[in-house]
Structure 1
Amino acid sequence: MKKIFAALLFSFALYSCDDGDITVTSFDLEDSDLNLCEIDGKKVLWVVNNEDVYESMSLELDDNRLNDTLTQRILTLDVNDEPIEINLSGEGNRLVYRIYDGEITGRDYFCQGVPPGSPRVLEEYVSAGGTVTITTNFNDLGSNENADADGDKVPNAEEGFDPDGGNHLDTDGDGIPDYLDIDDDNDNVPTESEYNADPGDPTSENGYLDTDEDGIPNYLDPDDDDDGVLTRHEVKEEDIQRAIDENNDGLLSPELTAEVDGLGNYLNDQVSSPNFEHELQLDHSITRDYRSNIVISDFNLIRQDGSGEDIRFDSYNLGRLVVNNIPFELLTNRQQELLDAEEENEEETEETSTN
């Protein structure tokens, strides 16, 4: 730990006595990778330190703007320009700092209704006043040039992601920008299945598979073999009917139709039949990564031994909670239209039944 005199200059240090022994801490838990639990309806963000001093910092929050349950392991899905601000007051919302007499396992201590009897708490400090600011952003849009929000193996930057103006590329005009679209050209063959070229395959200028050598990579080309039939329509009618009957998107795939040497019809310009025109689209829902940053400002930590000792903080960057692979629903324009029509029909049916 930092020397106590240096730490005091920054209002971070304190000492506590236990049977004559002096324990020194500098609250050296700032900017941490946080963990999340839910106990008695409250969300608990926590971090522990088992080096030199056995200590923990836990933030208990009870606010209806946070996620209802932790089944998704995430604090909030509220991603926008306005952060969530929560006042620290009473038992519902508070920051707690503790020092222990031995190594602490955070999940055992903070994620159970009754904490274990060991290790024993030597000192406890609880917040008075203050404001928690939670800022949540998508963690799959970072400065990393290989960030890939839709998981299709084509980086956001190469799919027309605009980090400044929000003018994102939408090749197929389906309402879903390419960087979030698992099927950029709306041909019912996922981008992940279309971008990669095997040795000897024709490629576009940027090295992606380009079967018809028209300069447009397959994952952006609605007619991959340039035979005049859209890739999405080079399917069998019975497959499409099964897709409807069985609610199975996999049966929409043109990859199922292979008439010559096992090569899909949609990649063979010599075969344009069978084909069947339809409007069905793959489910475009994906998973996203989130990052919540937690900063606490204008608060005191008060020692709970009756001494009245308190330490003031103008700002304390507790850290961040990063959660990956959270379900994220996406609907194409056409899918949204169908859903709206279905809901409208249900409302009309309900009104008719009531009358």
Structure 2
Amino acid sequence: MKKIFGLLLGLCLLTACDDGDLVLESFNFSSVAIQKCTDKTFLFKTNSDELLLVDIPESSFLNEVTPDGEPRIVNISGTNKVLYRKYSNAVGSTTVCNDIPPATPTVINEWNASNGGKIEIITTEKITIDPVTSEEVLTGYNHQIKFVNIQFVSPDNSFVFEEYLFGTYTTSL
């Protein structure tokens, strides 16, 4: 009986489901500042050989404080995009901002946010202290950008963030 049980157990282990080379993709841009090309409307972050890009209208960043608990919502759609890319080498603003991308580094993988996710924007005043008068002066607005229920999809796999803080983008007056 032990031999039969051992044989069945061994057979089960040999024929068990194999997930193959499934790799859960993720990224971490928390310590990286948001950048913007001077002649383009999108915002992006680079982290060595990774890029996280948000392409939404500049009008999404109104210089108006959002009420508590009422963020500005931008739905991810065909025109409002978020994408993540993995490159063959380190990527910088010169690669991202060029009209004609350079030959290297090359894109190894690309994940696009599927329709249905949202981008929440919470806007607050940016106050600085005037060094001469020591008074508070409004110098711009901080726009905290957060992804909510966003799914990144590639031909090979996908991954989801229930919430992901992209960062704070500052606009001046």
2:167 to 288, 311, 319: 319
2:134 counterpart residue number: 155
Higher RCO, 1 vs 2 (CA within 8 Å, ≥6 residues apart): 2
The question of 1:121 aligning with 2:107 is answered yes
Q: In structure 2, how many angstroms separate the alpha carbons of the residues matched to 1:139 and 1:104?
A: 30
Report the structure, 1 or 2, having the larger helix content.
1
2:45 counterpart residue number: 47
Structure 2: state its 5+ residue gaps.
Answer: 1-21
Compared CA separation, residues 31 and 136, structure 1 to 2 (3 A): farther
Structure 1 position 123, deviation (Å): 0.5
Deviations 1:236-286 (A, max 9, x none): xxxxxxxxxxxxxxxxxxxxxxxxxxxxxxxxxxxxxxxxxxxxxxxxxxx
TM-score, with length taken from structure 1: 0.38
1:292 counterpart residue number: 143
Task: Kindly indicate whether the alpha-carbon contact (under 8 Å) linking 1:32 and 1:320 is maintained by their aligned counterparts in 2.
Answer: no
Structure 2 counterparts to residues 145-294 of structure 1, below 5 A: 147-148=128-129, 151=130, 153-156=132-135, 179-180=136-137, 288-294=139-145
Q: In structure 2, how many angstroms separate the alpha carbons of the residues matched to 1:88 and 1:26?
A: 19
Q: In structure 2, how many angstroms separate the alpha carbons of the residues matched to 1:25 and 1:312?
A: 9
Compared CA separation, residues 320 and 31, structure 1 to 2 (3 A): farther
2:11 counterpart residue number: none
Question: Which letter does structure 2 place at the counterpart of 1:314?
Answer: E
Structure 2 counterparts to residues 49-128 of structure 1, below 5 A: 49-50=47-48, 54-62=49-57, 65-66=59-60, 75-81=61-67, 82-90=70-78, 92-105=79-92, 107-128=93-114
Compared CA separation, residues 76 and 36, structure 1 to 2 (3 A): farther
Rg larger for: 1
Report the structure, 1 or 2, having the larger strand content.
2
Structure 1: state its 5+ residue gaps.
Answer: 1-13, 16-23, 67-74, 141-146, 157-178, 181-286, 328-355
Give the aligned CA root-mean-square deviation in angstroms.
2.4
Structure 1 position 102, deviation (Å): 0.7
Deviations 1:123-175 (A, max 9, x none): 100001200011121221xxxxxx41xx253434xxxxxxxxxxxxxxxxxxx
Structure 1 position 115, deviation (Å): 2.2
SS in 2 for 1:139: strand
Structure 1 position 298, deviation (Å): 0.8
Deviations 1:203-258 (A, max 9, x none): xxxxxxxxxxxxxxxxxxxxxxxxxxxxxxxxxxxxxxxxxxxxxxxxxxxxxxxx
SS in 2 for 1:33: coil
Q: In structure 2, how many angstroms separate the alpha carbons of the residues matched to 1:316 and 1:136?
A: 17
Q: In structure 1, how many angstroms separate the alpha carbons of the residues matched to 2:110 and 2:158?
A: 11
Structure 1 position 62, deviation (Å): 3.1
Structure 1 position 83, deviation (Å): 2.7
Task: Kindly indicate whether the alpha-carbon contact (under 8 Å) linking 1:139 and 1:290 is maintained by their aligned counterparts in 2.
Answer: yes
Task: Kindly indicate whether the alpha-carbon contact (under 8 Å) linking 2:66 and 2:72 is maintained by their aligned counterparts in 1.
Answer: no
SS in 2 for 1:109: helix
Structure 1 position 31, deviation (Å): 6.0
Compared CA separation, residues 117 and 76, structure 1 to 2 (3 A): farther
Compared CA separation, residues 31 and 300, structure 1 to 2 (3 A): farther
